[in-house]
């Protein structure tokens, strides 16, 4: 049996299934009938020969041990395999054996036993590591993170990006939005003091001021705040009659905001503003109020008309008294009337002396 092994190859000589030695480049001859067998493989990447344990190869052939890199991954670690100084892959198994002849391999071990150690790892490495080994936490501006190890509070996290190993502990981060939020209560049906059903739209704004206590004591904060505002609206608006409600809209809004400020600490928040946006009346009540409004406007118009008529009559009476006492003023009034009459006449054709005599008589 003639075996030719190239320069970039390696051969493993077996006799009756037992390892004898390692063969390198050249021509080798063995008698197959005597139980010899040669396994040839490329000296690149992982050592693929697995017919005998790797420990046997390393112990029995020092030359072979000098041509390979044996990698042992301890418990709680992962390895970054580098080929010629460039990170190529992640090693997670307990043991690896690489040919270290043509390509130079090296391994960097990463300790996963402490969760925070991931923050010191090169981000280029983390980009290659499967996400099941670590947790990425991103805190946006205006947010706060509460970090937990095994459901126990560790610390608060500010704005930034964080990485944590999840090998030894369960890592959880609850993110709370600290920005001011709007809350609109739309179509809230309320019965006024005079038993009229109305619908109110209210707008308020709030922000979280005690995020840690809020997480530990309140579930679904927005639902709690919504219910709280509803109760306050019913508590105060229900005291007023409809006409009072329409007249004191701004004052009632201040009452509601004051009441919300009194109870805001129970929800770990701070109310920034609150006020009634709209008051929607039932259809029949709206029609009645429109009718009343039209009647009021008509009555006001009639009063104004009568007032003007009285003033006009009083002015005419005063003018008549003055003309009765002063003849010259009377003549001037006549001439003013004549001037207005003549202004409306386009052409005057004089056919005789009668018209001139009448004009002379009018002007005296």
* Mean local confidence (pLDDT), 281-300: 68
User: What mean pLDDT do residues 61-70 have?
Assistant: 87
Find the mean pLDDT for residues 144-159.
Answer: 93
Domain assignment of residue 117, yes or no: no
pLDDT of residue 284: 61
Q: What is the mean pLDDT of residues 320-327?
A: 74
**Total domain count for the chain?**
3
Of the three residues 281, 306, 334, the one that is the final residue of a domain is 281
- pLDDT of 36 over the 60 cut: yes
Residue 345's pLDDT band (boundaries 50, 70, 90)?
Answer: low
Residues in the chain: 364
Mean predicted lDDT score pLDDT of the chain: 83
In the prediction, which pLDDT does 147 show? 94
CA 302/CA 294 separation, integer angstroms: 12
Q: Is residue 56 included in any domain, yes or no?
A: yes
pLDDT at 353: 53
pLDDT of residue 285: 60
Exposure string over 188-204, b if 16+ CB within 10 A, otherwise e: bebebeeeeebebebbb
Tell me what pLDDT residue 356 has: 54
The reply to whether 201 and 243 lie within a common domain is yes
152 pLDDT band, cuts 50/70/90, is very high
304 lies in a domain? no
First to last CA, the chain: 160
Between CA 133 and CA 312 the distance in angstroms is 96
299 within domain boundaries: no
Q: Are residues 167 and 187 in the same domain?
A: no
Lowest mean pLDDT among 82-91, 129-138, 327-336: 327-336
| Domain identity same for 185 and 171 | no
Q: Would you place residue 103 in the very low, low, confident or very high pLDDT band (cuts 50, 70, 90)? A: confident
> Do both 148 and 169 map to the same domain?
yes
- Same structural domain for residues 170 and 217? no
For residues 105 and 88, the answer to whether their CB atoms sit within 8 Å is no
Q: What are phi and psi of 106, to 5 degrees?
A: -145, 160
Q: What is the pLDDT of residue 354?
A: 57
In a domain, residue 357? The reply is no
Rounded Cα gap, residues 360 and 364, in angstroms = 6
Q: Band of the pLDDT at 355, cuts 50, 70, 90? A: low
130 and 189 both lie in a single domain = no
Claim to verify: residue 152 and residue 100 sit in the same structural domain: no
Judge whether 57 lies within some domain. Answer: yes
* Rounded mean pLDDT, 98-122: 89
- Give the model's confidence band at 213: pLDDT under 50 very low, under 70 low, under 90 confident, else very high: very high
Domain boundary among 61, 78, 111: 111
Contacts of 57 by beta carbon, 8 Å cutoff, 6+ apart: 12, 19, 22, 49, 64, 65
* 349 within domain boundaries: no
pLDDT digits (tens, 9 = 90+) for 228-249: 888 888 877 777 777 777 777 7
pLDDT at 231: 86
Same domain, 79 and 142: no
185 and 161 within one domain:
no
Q: Which residue has the higher pLDDT, 280 or 69?
A: 69
pLDDT at 205 over 80: yes
| Residue 30 pLDDT class (50, 70, 90 cuts) | confident
Give the Å distances, CA to CA, from 15 to 12, 21, 42.
10, 10, 21
Higher-confidence position of 225 and 247: 225
CATH code, domain with 234: 3.30.479.30
- 317 lies in some domain: no
Residue 352 has pLDDT above 60, yes or no: no
Question: Is residue 23 predicted with pLDDT exceeding 60?
Answer: yes
Q: In the prediction, which pLDDT does 135 show? A: 93
User: Does 150 score more than 70 pLDDT?
Assistant: yes
Which ranges in the chain belong to alpha helices (H)?
54-60, 62-67, 123-128, 211-217, 221-237, 242-247, 249-263, 283-325, 327-343, 354-363
Q: Find the domain containing 138 and state its range.
A: 124-177
Q: Indicate if 78 and 144 belong to the same structural domain.
A: no
Whether 75 shows a pLDDT value over 80: the answer reads: yes
- Residues 171 and 240 reside in one and the same domain: no
Return the higher-pLDDT residue of 279 and 355. 279
Residues 22 and 62 in one domain: yes
Question: Per-residue pLDDT averaged across 254-281, rounded?
Answer: 88
Question: For residue range 183-200, what is the model confidence (pLDDT) as tens digits?
Answer: 988 877 777 777 777 788
Q: Above pLDDT 70, what percent of the chain?
A: 90
């Amino acid at each position: 049996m003639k075996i030719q092994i190239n320069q970039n190859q390696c051969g493993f000589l077996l006799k009756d299934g037992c390892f004898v030695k390692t063969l390198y480049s050249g021509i080798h001859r063995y008698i197959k009938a005597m139980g010899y067998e040669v396994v040839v493989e490329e000296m690149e990447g992982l050592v693929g020969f697995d017919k005998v344990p790797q420990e046997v190869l390393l112990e029995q052939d020092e030359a072979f041990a000098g041509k390979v890199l044996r990698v042992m991954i301890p418990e709680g670690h992962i390895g970054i395999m580098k080929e010629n100084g460039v990170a190529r892959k992640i090693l997670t198994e307990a043991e690896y054996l690489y040919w270290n002849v043509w390509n130079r391999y090296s391994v960097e071990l990463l300790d996963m036993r402490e969760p925070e150690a991931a923050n010191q790892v090169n981000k280029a490495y983390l980009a290659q590591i499967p996400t099941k080994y670590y947790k990425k936490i991103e805190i946006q501006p205006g947010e706060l993170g509460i970090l937990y190890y095994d459901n126990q509070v560790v610390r608060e996290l500010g704005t930034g990006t964080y990485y944590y190993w999840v090998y030894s502990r369960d890592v959880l981060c609850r993110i709370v939005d600290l920005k001011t939020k709007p809350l609109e209560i739309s179509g809230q049906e309320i019965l006024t003091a005079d038993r009229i059903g109305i619908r109110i739209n209210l707008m308020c704004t709030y922000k979280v001021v005690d995020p840690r206590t809020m997480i530990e004591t309140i579930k679904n904060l927005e639902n709690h705040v919504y219910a709280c505002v509803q109760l306050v609206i019913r508590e105060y608006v229900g005291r007023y009659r409809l006409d009072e409600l329409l007249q004191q809209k701004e004052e009632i809004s201040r009452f509601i905001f004051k009441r919300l400020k009194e109870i805001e600490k129970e929800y770990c928040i701070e109310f920034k503003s609150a006020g009634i946006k709209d008051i929607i009346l039932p259809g029949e009540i709206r029609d009645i109020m429109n009718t009343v409004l039209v009647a009021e406007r008509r009555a006001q118009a009639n009063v104004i008309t009568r007032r003007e008529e009285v003033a006009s009559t009083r002015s005419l009476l005063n003018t008549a008294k003055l003309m009765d006492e002063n003849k010259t003023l009377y003549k001037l009034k006549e001439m003013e009337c004549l001037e207005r009459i003549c202004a409306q006449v386009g052409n005057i054709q004089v056919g005789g002396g009668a018209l001139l005599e009448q004009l002379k008589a009018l002007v005296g």
